[in-house]
Amino acid sequence: MKPRYRISKEGRGGEPTDAELSRYRDGGRLLYNYQQAARMLHKRPLYKDPKAFIALVLIVLLALFISEVVEKEEPTHTPNVPEATVAD
């Protein structure tokens, strides 16, 4: 969600009313966002998870293998230059 800024020549607008402020006060959402952030903070990194790390290594090795095979299959392009024939 991108922050929206309102810039006007008159300067800042009026202060929000209590009704508008109470509309944004949601303790449940605040707690949920905090718990999600705390959970992601202590999540195990990918390189420490053995199954995910092996899968990642296999994908990288497969990509390297495919790039090597494609590189070898491409013929080197040499222009066909007709050889000069000597007529005696």
Q: Model's pTM, two decimal places?
A: 0.37
pLDDT in tens, the chain (88 residues): 688 877 788 877 788 888 888 887 888 888 898 888 888 777 777 777 888 889 999 999 999 999 998 888 766 666 666 666 666 5
pLDDT in the model for residue 58: 96
Listed as own residue / partner, the contacts of 4-9 with beta carbons closer than 8 Å and 24 or more positions apart are: none
